[in-house]
Amino acid sequence: MTAAQRLTGSLAPHAQRLSSIRIAELIAADPARAGDLSLRVGPLYANFSRQRIDRDALDALLQLADACALPQAFRALFDGERVNVSEDRPALHVALRSALGAGEVARDAQAQAAQAHARMAKLVDDLAASDVTDIVNVGIGGSDLGPRLVADALKDAHSGRFRVHFLTNVDGSDAQHTLRGLDPARTAAILVSKSFGTQETLLNGRILKDWLGGGERLYAVSANVPKAEAFGVAAERVLPMWDWVGGRYSLWSAVGFAIALAIGMPRFEELLAGAAEMDAHALQAPPERNLPILHALSVVWNRNALGLSTHAVLPYDERLALLPAYLQQLVMESLGKSVTPAGQAAGVDTVPVLWGGAGTNSQHSFFQALHQGTQTVPADFIGVVNPDHAYAENHAALLSNLLAQTEALANGHSDGDPQKTYPGNRPSTLLLLDALTPASLGALIALYEHSVYAQSVLWGVNAFDQWGVELGKRIAGELLPAVRGETTEVSDPVTRELLTEISRRRSG
Ligand code: F6P
């Protein structure tokens, strides 16, 4: 039986039964529900009681997890089995922070990770002892989003030794604005690229190399060490990456060099320890008490049983404002697939469109649509219990808004005026961090990583390749001579017309 048949077959009757029952009714009928459908893992608490699900539907989902052998799939991931089938390699990001994987492949990865970690620590010390004040991380996708998210989220934990900047876009204005005000004599650049073949990073890397006046303060992180050295980065300043770590799963490696410079090595290690705690939980907890698995099941339920096509992530902490952008890559690059590793149609709806933004700001922009729009959008609300500031009234307001929104979305309200009617019955999960620390952030990100993996197993797709990004890159390369004006030979008639328009309007 295919994953698709299992999904549609086993969930449909439950969705049908629940179609006329509201979340508020489920909660009223089951007083223990709010507590029972919650779970704590270290500094992270999750409450699923406002999902549109009952205990029978949850049992069906857990049977699905069993049929898909989720615990065994986690064991395979940790042990370094070749779970990335299309590229015939393991996905061992867990080896960057945990020693839970057994067998030679996993052990070897753990040893390589430890070695690179020690080299990175030495470079952090060297830079701290130098007169460098500013660091520019040059990278894109997984070589940017993870370090950028963590450096931004942990701004209260910064050591203050360096200012860290991120240069990403091939749009030259990004380089122009990032470098404005920086002193090349006191700036170091880290070129982060797993492949060292990414157009954006190579172009920006060249800008940085010229701007710095050579390679003396140029660092690199790459799985293609020879290419980084050929670019002009001295061997002792190139930190390794490996083909067994996906870019979007790589912030735990030397890809996190900018994070380590921002917060210092001890706190970087706390970040890894927080992720390791979630790793141990993901690998060892039974599915019915396993947070990543329960999270994945809730996503699958909303996508496949309720047919909801988007998923919002709504952090109620300004420091987590970049989390939705980070998760867009993690989730949508991992799960935006429609064929199985064997090349057959997945036969099931896979990734919902992930989007979101920080609260309370988003309440004053798109929440109107969440409350009264025609589409139901399931959401993850994320809150932080203890702030790192002294504005107690602001924090009370923040938390009360967080709680109010989840309540309003679930319960709705009607006083007879259709304009002021809130249909409610809109599902959400609440995630609460005791405080935003390196450890709790590590646990939160690892939760999402493991949920993504569990979803991929349930849907029968490979979470670790990304062939979908290649076609556009190839066409862009082919069009470059025409954009430069070196040729007018372009096969696509619309692109030809657009190029004519661009060349007509060009001022320079
Ligand atoms: O094009 C997508 C992608 O390959 C991502 O998966 C990756 O994180 C990003 O580009 C950057 O790749 P690299 O680290 O090799 O420069």
Average pLDDT over residues 214-232: 96
Q: How much is the pLDDT for 7?
A: 77
List pLDDT tens digits, range 421-476: 999 999 999 999 999 999 999 999 999 999 999 999 999 999 999 999 999 999 99
| Contact indicator for 383, 432 with CB cutoff of 8 Å | yes
Predicted confidence band of residue 183 (pLDDT cuts 50, 70, 90): very high
Report the share of the chain in percent with pLDDT over 70: 99
For all residues of the chain together, what is the average pLDDT?
97
- Helices 438-459, 145-153: axis angle to 10 degrees equals 140
Answer whether 142 contacts ligand 1 (Cβ < 6 A).
Answer: yes
**In this structure, which residue's CA is closest to atom 6 in ligand 1?**
247
Query: Going edge to edge, which strands form the sheet with 238-240?
Result: 163-167, 134-138, 187-192, 218-222, 238-240
- Helices 493-505, 470-484: axis angle to 10 degrees equals 40
Q: What would the 3-class secondary structure string for 244-269 be?
A: CCCHHHCCCCHHHHHHHHHHCHHHHH
DSSP assignment of 415-472, as one string?
Answer: SS-GGG-B-----EEEEEEEE--HHHHHHHHHHHHHHHHHHHHHHT--TT--GGGHHH
For the CA atoms of 291, 294, 299, 304, the dihedral, rounded to the nearest 10 degrees, stands at 160
Answer whether 143 contacts ligand 1 (Cβ < 6 A).
Answer: yes
Q: Does residue 25 have an active-site annotation?
A: no
CA of 474 to the centre of ligand 1 (A): 14
Cα separation, 74 vs 276, whole angstroms: 14
Enumerate residues 6+ apart whose C-beta is below 8 A from 416: none
Task: Judge whether residue 100 has pLDDT over 80.
Answer: yes
Task: Judge whether residue 154 has pLDDT over 80.
Answer: yes
CA of 387 to the centre of ligand 1 (A): 34
**In this structure, which residue's CA is closest to atom 3 in ligand 1?**
141
Residue (of 121, 68, 138) closest to 461 by Cα position? 68
Cα separation, 259 vs 253, whole angstroms: 10
Mutate to test the pocket of ligand 1, among 145, 194, 222 (most ligand atoms within 8 A of CB): 194
Predicted confidence band of residue 1 (pLDDT cuts 50, 70, 90): low
Mutate to test the pocket of ligand 1, among 145, 195, 200 (most ligand atoms within 8 A of CB): 195
Q: How much is the pLDDT for 417?
A: 97
Q: How much is the pLDDT for 144?
A: 98
CA of 174 to the centre of ligand 1 (A): 18
Task: Judge whether residue 322 has pLDDT over 90.
Answer: yes
Three-state DSSP state, 241: coil
Amino acid at 445: I
Q: How much is the pLDDT for 6?
A: 73
Average pLDDT over residues 118-141: 98
List pLDDT tens digits, range 396-423: 999 999 999 999 999 999 999 999 999 9
Q: Which atom of ligand 1 is nearest to the CA of 250?
A: 8
Predicted confidence band of residue 508 (pLDDT cuts 50, 70, 90): low
Q: How much is the pLDDT for 177?
A: 98
- Of 333, 337, 449, 450, the catalytic one is 333
List pLDDT tens digits, range 323-345: 999 999 999 999 999 999 999 99
| Contact indicator for 20, 74 with CB cutoff of 8 Å | no
Task: Judge whether residue 375 has pLDDT over 70.
Answer: yes
Q: How much is the pLDDT for 507?
A: 87
Amino acid at 204: N
Q: How much is the pLDDT for 214?
A: 85
Cα separation, 23 vs 156, whole angstroms: 38
Predicted confidence band of residue 479 (pLDDT cuts 50, 70, 90): very high
Structure tokens at 39: 């779970």
Predicted confidence band of residue 5 (pLDDT cuts 50, 70, 90): confident
To which H or E segment does residue 187 belong? strand 187-192
Task: Judge whether residue 2 has pLDDT over 90.
Answer: no
